[in-house]
Amino acid sequence: MDVTDKIAVVTGGGRGIGRGITLVLAGNGANVVVADINKDGANEVAQEVIDIGRESIGVKLDVTDQLSVDKAVEEILDRFGRIDILVNCAGIIASPDWEGRDRHNESDWDINYEVNVKGIARVTDAVSLGMKERKYGKIVNIASVSGRQGTLTNIPYGVTKAGVINLTQAQALELAPFNINVNSICPGLVWTDMWGRIAEQWGKSRPQWEGKSGREIYEETVLVRTPLGRDQTADDMGYAVSFLASDYAKNITGQSLNVSGGFFMN
């Protein structure tokens, strides 16, 4: 898990799973750039990294906007000179009014594809240019167990997460000649703002959850779905990412690892 003095970038690092991954990478010795559409969140997490003794900056990044991606990468290279590790964690579940609807619509398809799939492709293409020149890089994409099998969580979301698993394999093939490893992890159930949105939408649209709080819906889902009987944490994702981003995993590429307490085993 040693990533000492590596320069890592975590997209979507301003809260939730991305924050956990950022802090675990920093705890394992990396200097970590926190890149997020929410600059304030990015800055706060960057300060947490500095507080544990590693270097960091918060960077404004919108993965749906090529200019924003190019500008962010330039800013990071100006400050750190290189990027060794890229974690593509920025993700979205649905468009903003989803909680008020009982089913997905056209805008859910668009936003999921823009952020979850094209966002990873855009950032990876920009960051891997320097990795290719230096013949070194570790890329970890955050997919989901929702990409392993069709689910009703939110159909466009699951489809795009299946896309992330496929994209990871294609990127691994494309970048292998440059000694760049590309893998993904598939988180199971982690209580974050995103899960808060899922629970709210389920609470409003599914009769079996009527009258339950978001947290109750989440906890019951964990018990029913998870053989190990417990939910996962953002730190759990950080441990898996740290391994895949370390040289201990130098012969692992194109793989997707479930970190789900046994929820999914494929």
Ligand X SMILES: NC(=O)c1ccc[n+]([C@@H]2O[C@H](COP(=O)([O-])OP(=O)(O)OC[C@H]3O[C@@H](n4cnc5c(N)ncnc54)[C@H](O)[C@@H]3O)[C@@H](O)[C@H]2O)c1
Which part of the chain contacts ligand X (CB under 6 A), choosing from 6-14, 46-54, 168-176, 203-211? Answer: 6-14
Closest to ligand X by CB, 9 or 17: 17
Count of other CB atoms within 10 angstroms of residue 213: 12
Tell me: does residue 154 bind ligand X (CB under 6 A): no
Q: How far is CA 36 from the centre of its chain?
A: 11
Tell me: does residue 142 bind ligand X (CB under 6 A): yes
- Any catalytic annotation for residue 248? no
Tell me: does residue 37 bind ligand X (CB under 6 A): yes
Which part of the chain contacts ligand X (CB under 6 A), choosing from 84-92, 94-102, 170-178, 247-255? Answer: 84-92
Tell me: does residue 189 bind ligand X (CB under 6 A): yes
Closest to ligand X by CB, 5 or 216: 216
Tell me: does residue 263 bind ligand X (CB under 6 A): no
**Alpha-carbon distance 153 to 146, whole Å?**
8
**Alpha-carbon distance 12 to 33, whole Å?**
11
Closest to ligand X by CB, 39 or 132: 39
Which part of the chain contacts ligand X (CB under 6 A), choosing from 62-70, 132-140, 203-211, 243-251? Answer: 62-70
Tell me: does residue 61 bind ligand X (CB under 6 A): yes
Binding ligand X by CB under 6 A: which of 24, 57, 63, 86? 63
The footprint of ligand X on residues 13-32 (CB under 6 A) is 14-18
The helix/strand/coil state of 131 is: helix
Tell me: does residue 238 bind ligand X (CB under 6 A): no
Tell me if 85 sits within 8 A of 25, measured CB to CB. yes
For residue 115, give the DSSP letter.
Answer: I
Which part of the chain contacts ligand X (CB under 6 A), choosing from 85-93, 95-103, 127-135, 200-208? Answer: 85-93
Tell me: does residue 92 bind ligand X (CB under 6 A): yes
Binding ligand X by CB under 6 A: which of 144, 221, 226, 242? 144
| Helix/strand number for the chain, H first, E second | 9, 7
**Alpha-carbon distance 49 to 46, whole Å?**
5
The helix/strand/coil state of 9 is: strand
Identity at 119, one-letter amino acid code? G
Tell me: does residue 112 bind ligand X (CB under 6 A): no
**For the chain, what is the radius of gyration of the CA atoms?**
18
First-to-final CA distance of the chain: 24
**Alpha-carbon distance 22 to 119, whole Å?**
19
DSSP 11-25: ETTTSHHHHHHHHHH
Active site residue ranges: 157
Rule CB under 6 A: which residues touch ligand X?
11-12, 14-18, 36-38, 41, 61-64, 89-92, 115, 142, 144, 187, 189-190, 192-195
